[in-house]
Amino acid sequence: MYCSSRLRAFAAAATLLAAAAIAHAQAALPNVVILATGGTIAGAGASAINSATYAAAKVGVDKLIAGLPELSKVANVKGEQVFQVASESLTNDNLLTLAKRVSALAKQPDVDGIVITHGTDTVEETAYFLTLTVHTNKPIVMVASMRPGTALSADGALNLYDAVSVAGSKDAMGKGVLLTMNDSIESGRDVSKNFNIKPSAFVSQWGSLGMVVEGRNYWFRAPVKRHTMNSEFDIDTITSLPPVEIAMGYEGVASTAIDALGKSGIKALIHGGPGNGSVADRIVPSLQKLRADGIVVIRSSRVPDGFVIRNAEQPDDKYDWVVAHDLRPQKARILAMVALTKTSDTKELQRIFWEY
The pLDDT tens digits of the residues spanning 183-194 come to: 999 999 999 999
Which of 35, 112, 92, 105 lies closest to 338 in space, CA to CA?
92
pLDDT for position 51: 60
pLDDT for position 54: 61
Q: Which of 37, 91, 97, 120 is catalytic?
A: 120
pLDDT surpasses 70 at 12? no
pLDDT surpasses 80 at 215? yes
Counted domains in the chain: 2
- Do 34 and 172 lie in one domain? The reply is yes
- Residues 273-295 as b/e (b if ≥16 CB within 10 A, e otherwise) read bbebbbbbeebeebbeebbeeeb
Which of 310, 318, 352, 312 lies closest to 332 in space, CA to CA?
352
Average pLDDT over residues 189-207: 95
Average pLDDT over residues 265-282: 98
Torsion of CA 120, 350, 271, 98, to 10 degrees: 30
Among the candidates 205, 230, 255, a domain finishes at: 230
Q: Are 188 and 177 in contact (CB under 8 A)?
A: yes
- pLDDT tens per residue across span 44-73: 666 666 666 666 667 889 999 999 999 999
pLDDT for position 20: 40
Max mean pLDDT range (8-22, 26-40, 267-281): 267-281
pLDDT category at 280 given cuts 50, 70, 90 is very high
Asked whether residue 54 is domain-assigned, the answer is: yes
pLDDT for position 60: 87
Asked whether residue 86 is domain-assigned, the answer is: yes
Asked whether residue 92 is domain-assigned, the answer is: yes
pLDDT category at 325 given cuts 50, 70, 90 is very high
Asked whether residue 103 is domain-assigned, the answer is: yes
Q: Are 90 and 118 in contact (CB under 8 A)?
A: no
- Residues 210 and 102: their CA atoms lie apart, in Å, by 23
For this structure, is 40 an active site residue? yes
pLDDT surpasses 60 at 26? no
pLDDT surpasses 80 at 81? yes
pLDDT for position 55: 65
pLDDT for position 152: 81
Q: Which of 40, 122, 150, 180 is catalytic?
A: 40
- Do 249 and 224 lie in one domain? The reply is no
What predicted TM-score, i.e. pTM, was given to this entire model?
0.89
Residue predicted with more confidence, 40 or 170: 170
Q: Which residues contact residue 70 at a Cβ distance below 8 angstroms, ignoring those fewer than 6 apart?
A: 161
- Do 50 and 176 lie in one domain? The reply is yes
pLDDT category at 148 given cuts 50, 70, 90 is confident
Asked whether residue 145 is domain-assigned, the answer is: yes
- Do 198 and 303 lie in one domain? The reply is no
Q: What is the mean pLDDT of the chain?
A: 91
pLDDT category at 238 given cuts 50, 70, 90 is very high
- Residues 233 and 8: their CA atoms lie apart, in Å, by 62
296: containing domain: 243-355
Specify the 3-state DSSP secondary structure of 300: strand
Q: Which residues contact residue 52 at a Cβ distance below 8 angstroms, ignoring those fewer than 6 apart?
A: 147, 197
pLDDT surpasses 80 at 273? yes
Average pLDDT over residues 116-130: 97
For this structure, is 237 an active site residue? no
